[in-house]
């Protein structure tokens, strides 16, 4: 009995030899294995890696899209111009369609717009032809005034500096006549290409104005049923923003052109009408277009009217910029485009780097449409 009691185990804590489970070395080996398989990666690093490869995929996709679009430059520009024409002419077409068949409404609107644009261009050409002789005399005398101005305080340049510059420009043109001629010929080929793109744009705009809604509905119905509402919301947001931006920019450009025309007429600067048209076209490029056009007007004023008038024209850059930035853009574009000026500046710079002047023209509407579509889909999503 004594021996039996000695061999019996008390209930309680088990002996060390009877313990189950991995020992400390086995647990360390398992930890190293899970670290190598990525199961113990910190959550922040895992999230950053997920965003990184998604951003890389988006960057590659954007690069491929830009490459493809650059190869298809003519049809892409034609479709863009067709959308611009449609956004501008859609309200008068809808108004005329209340009393006329839609085909006749489209025809009358296009013919009237063509007559209006052609009349403006003919008036500009006539003005340049009439004032060119007088402008040549004024420029000839203007070089003398500029020479006297540069030779005085605070520049103190030697007399004849402006005349030397003019003679050097003439010598350069004479020495590089063949290169300039080839450049002009290549520019003529480019002009033919632009005319072809314009004809294609008008052709597409006719169908967009006549049956654009049916074309969009047909395209949406080719998609899977569950994705149609998403594409419908995206299309509505895109068109609302694009049309609002196009009409707003044209209103802003026309207002700037009228203000500049009044100021130049008061200051008696020659070639007022061509400079007004230049201001209108240049304002279509946000932030930088209007100052460039006014700088050209200041050069004309410097040659024709002297440095005081040129400085007054340069002052217009500040005045027009303040009116455009603090009055016209918030009133005209604020309801359709809500992009920070920094984003606009970066968009224009990026578009100019990628596509030159055309890239600068289309950069802001493209970014505006993309932002509007993103906001519409985000607000309509279940998580938004």
Q: Where residue 344 falls among pLDDT bands split at 50, 70, 90? A: confident
Distance of CA 228 to the CA centre of its chain: 28
Whether 309 has a pLDDT exceeding 80, the answer reads yes
**Amino acid 204: pLDDT:** 93
3-state secondary structure of 267: coil
Distance from C-alpha of 122 to C-alpha of 139, rounded to nearest angstrom: 24
Domain borders along the chain are 72-222, 229-384
Percent share of the chain, pLDDT over 70: 71
Q: Does the predicted model carry a pTM greater than 0.75?
A: no
Q: Where residue 317 falls among pLDDT bands split at 50, 70, 90? A: confident
Q: Average of pLDDT values for 183-206?
A: 78
Whether 21 has a pLDDT exceeding 60, the answer reads no
Distance from C-alpha of 280 to C-alpha of 258, rounded to nearest angstrom: 9
**Amino acid 140: pLDDT:** 59
Q: Which residue reads 């959308």 in tokens?
A: 83
3-state secondary structure of 11: coil
Give counts: helices (H), strands (E), the chain: 12, 0
Q: Where residue 4 falls among pLDDT bands split at 50, 70, 90? A: very low
CB atoms within 10 A of CB 372: 24
**Amino acid 203: pLDDT:** 93
pLDDT in tens, 28-81: 555 554 445 445 778 888 888 888 999 999 889 988 887 888 788 888 889 999
**Amino acid 1: pLDDT:** 45
Q: Average of pLDDT values for 9-27?
A: 52
**Amino acid 35: pLDDT:** 46
Q: Average of pLDDT values for 87-111?
A: 92
Query: What is the DSSP code (8-state) at residue 284?
Result: T
Rounded to whole angstroms, what are the CA distances from 207 to 79, 211, 246, 274, 370?
12, 6, 19, 33, 24
**Amino acid 91: pLDDT:** 92
Q: Average of pLDDT values for 225-245?
A: 88
Q: Which residue reads 């609302």 in tokens?
A: 240
Q: Average of pLDDT values for 360-378?
A: 84
Percent share of the chain, pLDDT over 90: 14
Mean pLDDT, the chain, as a whole number? 77
| Cβ atoms of residues 109 and 92 within 8 Å | yes
Q: Average of pLDDT values for 225-247?
A: 88
Task: Compute φ and ψ for 382, nearest 5 degrees.
Answer: -60, -30
CB-count exposure of residue 107 (10 Å: 0-12, 13-18, 19+)? middle
């Amino acid at each position: 009995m004594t021996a039996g009691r000695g061999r019996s185990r008390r209930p309680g804590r088990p002996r060390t030899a009877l313990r189950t489970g991995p020992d400390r070395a086995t647990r360390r080996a398992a930890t190293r294995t899970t670290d190598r398989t990525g199961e113990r990666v910190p959550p922040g690093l895992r999230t950053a890696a997920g965003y990184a490869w998604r951003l890389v995929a988006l960057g590659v996709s954007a690069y491929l899209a830009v490459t493809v679009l650059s190869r298809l430059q003519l049809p892409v520009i034609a479709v863009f111009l067709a959308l611009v024409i449609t956004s501008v002419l859609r309200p008068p077409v809808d108004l005329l369609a209340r009393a006329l068949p839609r085909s006749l409404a489209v025809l009358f609107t296009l013919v009237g717009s063509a007559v209006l644009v052609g009349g403006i261009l003919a008036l500009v050409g006539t003005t340049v032809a009439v004032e060119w002789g007088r402008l040549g005399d004024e420029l000839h005398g203007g070089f003398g005034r500029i020479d006297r101005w540069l030779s005085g305080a605070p520049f103190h340049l030697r007399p004849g500096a402006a005349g030397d510059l003019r003679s050097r420009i003439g010598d350069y043109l004479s020495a590089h006549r063949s290169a300039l001629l080839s450049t002009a010929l290549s520019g003529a080929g480019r002009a033919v290409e632009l005319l072809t793109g314009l004809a294609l744009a008008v052709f597409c705009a006719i169908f967009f104005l006549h049956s654009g809604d049916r074309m969009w509905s047909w395209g949406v119905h080719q998609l899977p049923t569950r994705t149609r509402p998403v594409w419908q919301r995206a299309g509505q947001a895109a068109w609302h923003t694009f049309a609002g931006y196009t009409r707003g920019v044209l209103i802003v450009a026309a207002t700037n052109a009228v203000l500049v025309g009044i100021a130049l007429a008061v200051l008696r600067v020659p070639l007022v009408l061509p400079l007004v048209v230049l201001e209108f076209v240049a304002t279509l490029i946000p932030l930088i277009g209007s100052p460039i056009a006014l700088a050209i007007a200041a050069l004309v004023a410097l040659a024709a009217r002297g440095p005081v008038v040129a400085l007054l024209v340069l002052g217009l850059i500040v005045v027009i910029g303040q009116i455009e930035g603090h009055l016209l853009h918030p009133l005209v574009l604020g309801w359709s485009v809500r992009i920070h000026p920094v984003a606009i500046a970066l968009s224009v710079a990026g578009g100019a780097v990628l596509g030159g002047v055309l890239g600068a023209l289309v950069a802001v509407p493209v970014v505006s449409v993309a932002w509007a579509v993103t906001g519409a889909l985000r607000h309509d999503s279940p998580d938004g």
